């Protein structure tokens, strides 16, 4: 399992659990990520089939990201991690 590798996939998935988000929204919501990393992670996650990218031909551009079923299915994992963290991290 090297699919949630990288420092950011986890927080990004967490953010998208709450539903579709635009690029800028993600950039604001995901802790202290920077543009380059967000772009990079999103591309990788798209390639892995975890997120879907929808672009709208508006001015200025609108791009929405959401989780695929495969991405949504990671929720139980995240829940368990959070349970663990709550119990063992002060």
Which positions touch a copy of itself (CB under 8 A)? 1-2, 5, 7, 10, 70, 73-74, 76-77, 79-81, 83-85, 87-88
28 vs 83, which CB is nearer to a copy of itself?
Answer: 83
Measured distance CA(75)–CA(89) in Å, rounded: 20
17 vs 27, which CB is nearer to DNA?
Answer: 27
How distant, in Å, are the alpha carbons of 11, 35, 62, 83 from that of 26?
10, 10, 13, 24
φ, ψ at 55 (rounded to 5°)? -110, 140
Taking CB within 5 to 8 Å according to partner kind, which of a copy of itself, DNA, none is near residue 37? Answer: DNA
Segment 27-66, which members bind DNA (CB under 7 A)? 32-37, 39, 42-43, 53, 55, 60-64
Q: Answer yes or no: are the C-beta atoms of 45 and 66 closer than 8 Å.
A: no
């Amino acid at each position: 399992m090297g699919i949630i590798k990288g420092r950011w996939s986890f927080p990004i998935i967490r953010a998208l659990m709450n539903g579709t988000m635009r690029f800028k929204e993600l950039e604001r919501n995901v802790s202290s990520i920077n543009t380059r990393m967000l772009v990079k992670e999103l591309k990788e996650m798209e390639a892995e089939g975890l997120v879907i990218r929808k672009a709208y031909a508006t001015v200025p551009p609108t791009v929405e990201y959401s989780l695929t079923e495969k991405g949504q299915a990671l929720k139980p994992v995240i829940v368990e991690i959070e349970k663990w963290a709550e119990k063992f991290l002060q």
